[in-house]
Amino acid sequence: MVSGRLMSTFARAASLGVGSFAAYRKMTDPLDIFFDLDHTILCSISPLPISDNGVDNGVGRTLRWFDQIDDDFPFEGNSPNTRTFLRPLSTATIYFCSVIGRVHVYTAAQKSYTDNILKVIDPRRTLFGQVLHRDDHPDIVRNGKDLLFAGGGEVGLRRSVLFDDKFSNFVPQQYRNGVLIRPFTPDRVAACGQYNMSYVQETMEMFKICSIALFCSVIPSGDARDVIKRL
């Protein structure tokens, strides 16, 4: 319910004032917004956490979650071996960013895992444009996330931003296009067992993404890197 209300709020905001200019910019000079998956907008835990109610520390009441098979880890038959928790307001954040720019996935995970995630957060495949993963770009794992793989070129780089929890992933563009996000780790998941300060901190991290993406979209110079270098 919280995410749904905020999605509506973000949509209204994007239709007014600076938000309407951002939406216009999307049509004329679009901002490409790249999202990492693990520890940025979600956290996957393997093996499955065990508890009386099926979800540890009551986070099943506060976080959206689903079980899946991550074939990076041992599994038997069709039994899930991984529980994936979505960060608070992460889907609302992606929705908002899709209004003011073009959103993409850029992950070091394998294709099968990435597909499992997209079935949940973008089941109709209408939100994300490009989906980059290590099966197609194995250099991601060692060398970081090169935005030129997305067909950017220099013009593309001035209108691109990557949100990721690993600073090393920004190396290919000399850190100029990357925004570091506090990792959403298993301990952070456990801390969100109630609507407490930890939960609020996670929502604020998503508001941070929305704010930075909006400023990157509307900056007069048109160069998102002019916003990122001031962070």
Of 9-23, 50-64, 80-94, 103-117, the range with the lowest mean pLDDT is 9-23
Residue 144 domain flag: yes
Residue 58 domain flag: no
Residue 171 domain flag: yes
Residue 164 domain flag: yes
pTM: 0.88
Domain count within the chain: 1
Tens-digit pLDDT profile for residues 72-100: 999 999 999 999 999 999 999 999 999 99
Residue 215 domain flag: yes
Tens-digit pLDDT profile for residues 15-51: 455 556 666 667 678 999 999 999 999 999 998 876 5
Report the relative pairing of strands 82-86 and 42-45 from DSSP bridges: antiparallel
- Show Cβ contacts of residue 203 under 8 Å, excluding neighbours closer than 6 positions: 88, 89
How many other CB atoms are found less than 10 A from the CB of residue 32? 23
Residue 69 domain flag: no
CATH assignment of the domain containing 12: 3.40.50.1000
Residue 16 domain flag: yes
Exposed e or buried b per residue across 187-206, where buried means at least 16 C-beta atoms within 10 angstroms of its C-beta? ebbbbbbeeeebbeebbebb
| Domain containing residue 153 | 2-44+86-228
Burial of 55 (0-12, 13-18, 19+ CB in 10 A): buried
Band (223; pLDDT cuts 50, 70, 90): very high
Residue 79 domain flag: no
Question: Is it the case that residue 174 has pLDDT exceeding 70?
Answer: yes
